[in-house]
Amino acid sequence: MFVIKRFIAIFIARNREFFRDRAALTWNLAFPVLLIVGFSIVFSGDSRNQLKVGLLNESSVPQSLSSIKYTEFLFYQDQNDAQNKVAQHQLDLLLDWKNKIYWINDTSPNGFLAENVIQNHTPKLKKESISGEPIRYIDWVIPGILGMNIMFSCLFGVGYVIVRYRKSGVLKRLNATPITAFEFIAAQIVSRLIIVTSISVVIFLSTWWTIGFMVKGSLLLLLLILVLGTLCLIALGLMIASRSQSEELTGGLLNFASWPMMFLSGVWFSLEGSPEIIQFIAQWLPLTHFVNATRAIMTEGASFMSVLDNILALILMTSIFFILSAFSFNWGKSR
């Protein structure tokens, strides 16, 4: 039977343990802030080395365009989505090859260059102008930095703690008390959820006010995605650490889980134009759905329905991870 007093006792103990660890607390606060400030300085100009041209309703580059150098061609089926990317300077030019129409943002320097390049190869095209606010790289990368910090805080903050408790015999001693596994795990989850959410909110608001990155959507919807993403990554950390007795093995497993998400979840760069197998694998990673939903809300003003697929994916993954954690969790070997 769940007893709230026992839950609160474990919850308070875990919070005190975290806040007394000054090094961990400082790292969780300082690391993402330093990254955000660094990126805001380095990429303040948001210069790029090649042109990006979108092709509408095409599966391959037309023959007359295939000889154009230093240009990346991306394929789109959704015209509204592609035009929105042109408006935000994420695409330099959008071309409807069959209807001989192209769209550019007249305020984009790269759009001007792309227009001249395309017209040199296919002069008989109709021009349509699109207006919109450009997205700097710092606007684009903020969700990835926040997601990366949440990922490491959840995976290692939960995984290592559970294994350390098990290895030192703390779990075995707790098992001799009236505390149930559900009470213990629930306290760990709620403690980590409150800590990570609070730190993330402080980092987000402080850097938003000082740097002024783009936030077009609802802050409440961002908070919902933050809570769901944090819960999902906590559940993943619990699942990995549910049985392991070795900190070394757990560290390896946590790195095995986190590093693919670092590179395949759109943290540092877009996966548009990458092989389909890479994009397929990315959809099975929880950080992908957190970053995609957060980025859509911040840069596009996406609504709840627009990110519903990401929300459902996070809920489903969280449920699976928690169920596997509950069935595999143990208190430690008997001696």
Residues 79 and 181 in one domain: no
Label residue 333 by pLDDT band (50, 70, 90).
low
Residue 138 has pLDDT above 90, yes or no: no
160: in domain? yes
- Name the residue range of residue 69's domain: 51-129
The confidence score (pLDDT) of residue 153 equals 87
Q: In this structure, is residue 230 part of a structural domain?
A: yes
Are 109 and 162 found together in one domain? no
What's residue 1's pLDDT? Answer: 65
| Residues 11-58 pLDDT 10s | 887 777 767 766 555 656 666 666 666 656 545 554 444 788 999 988
319 pLDDT band, cuts 50/70/90, is very high
Q: What is the pTM of this model?
A: 0.70
Average pLDDT over residues 144-158: 88
Asked whether residue 113 carries a pLDDT value surpassing 90, the answer given is no
Task: Tell me if residue 5 falls in helix, strand or coil.
Answer: helix
Q: At what angle do helices 22-42 and 137-168 cross, to 10 degrees?
A: 160
Is the same domain home to 82 and 158? no
- Per DSSP, 92 falls in state S
Domains identified in the chain, total number: 2
Residues 160 and 187 in one domain: yes
Residues 6 or more apart in contact with residue 201 via CB below 8 angstroms:
223, 226
- Selection from 190, 200, 194 nearest residue 222 by Cα: 200
Backbone angles phi, psi at 13, to 5 degrees: -60, -40
Shared domain for 269 and 163, answered yes or no, is: yes
Nearest 5 degrees, angle CA 136-CA 42-CA 145? 65
Same domain, 103 and 201: no
* Mean pLDDT lowest among 143-147, 206-210, 325-329: 325-329
Q: Does the pLDDT value for residue 129 go beyond 60? A: yes
Alpha helices for 104-218 (secondary structure H): 109-121, 137-168, 170-175, 181-211
Domain-located, residue 333? no
Pair 182, 252 in one domain:
yes
CA distances from 278 to 144, 241, 284, 289 (A): 18, 27, 10, 15
67 lies in the same domain as 157? no
- What is the spatial distance between Cα 105 and Cα 88, in angstroms, rounded to a whole number? 8
Mean pLDDT of 128-137: 75
* Token pair in block for residue 324: 């596997």
Say whether pLDDT at 335 is over 50. no
Most confident of 43-52, 80-89, 245-254: 80-89
Sign of dihedral through CA atoms 279, 283, 288, 294? positive
Q: Is residue 335 part of a domain?
A: no
Domain presence at residue 159? yes
Asked if 106 and 221 sit in the same domain, the reply is: no
